[in-house]
Amino acid sequence: MCLRSAYAIDNAGIEVLLYMRKEDLIILSIETSCDETAVAVTRNGREILADELISQVDLHALYGGVVPELASRNHAAHIGRLAELAMTNAGIRRNDIDAIAVTYAPGLIGALLVGVNFAKGLALALDVPLVPVHHIRGHIAANYIAYPELEPPFLCCIVSGGNSVIADIRDYTDIRIIGRSRDDAAGECFDKVARILGLGYPGGAALDKLAQSGGDEMRYSLPRPHIEGRPYDMSFSGLKTAIINIVHNAEQRSEDLDKASLAASFAAAVSEILVPRVMAAAVECDRSKIAIAGGVAANTRIRADFLSAAQSGERMLYIPPLRLCGDNAAMIGCQGYYEFLAGVRADMSLNAYATMDVGDSAPFVSSAIR
What pLDDT, on a 0 to 100 scale, did the predictor assign at position 21?
A: 52
pLDDT of residue 367: 40
In angstroms, the Cα distances linking 185 to 212, 235, 294, 327 are 22, 8, 11, 15
Residue from 287, 318, 164, 131 nearest 233 by CA: 164
pLDDT grade for 22, boundaries at 50, 70 and 90: low
Residue with more model confidence, 20 or 108: 108
| Stated pTM of the model | 0.89
User: Across residues 222-228, what is the average pLDDT?
Assistant: 91
Quote the CA–CA distance of 57 and 291 in Å, as a whole number. 27
**Nearest to residue 339, comparing CAs of 144, 209, 202?**
144
End-to-end CA distance of the chain: 19
Backbone angles phi, psi at 126, to 5 degrees: -90, -10
- Rounded Cα–Cα distance for residues 52 and 68 (Å): 21
The per-residue pLDDT for range 46-103, each reduced to its tens digit, is 999 999 999 998 888 888 888 999 999 999 999 999 999 999 999 999 999 999 999 9
For residue range 291-325, list pLDDT tens digits in order. 999 988 899 999 999 999 999 999 999 999 989 99
Per DSSP (E only), the strands in the chain are 6-9, 15-18, 26-31, 36-43, 47-55, 99-105, 130-134, 154-159, 164-171, 174-180, 289-293, 316-318
Structural domains of the chain in order of their starting residue, each with its CATH number: 6-141+326-364 (3.30.420.40), 152-321 (3.30.420.40)
Q: Which of 241, 236, 242, 244 is nearest to 296 (CA)?
A: 236
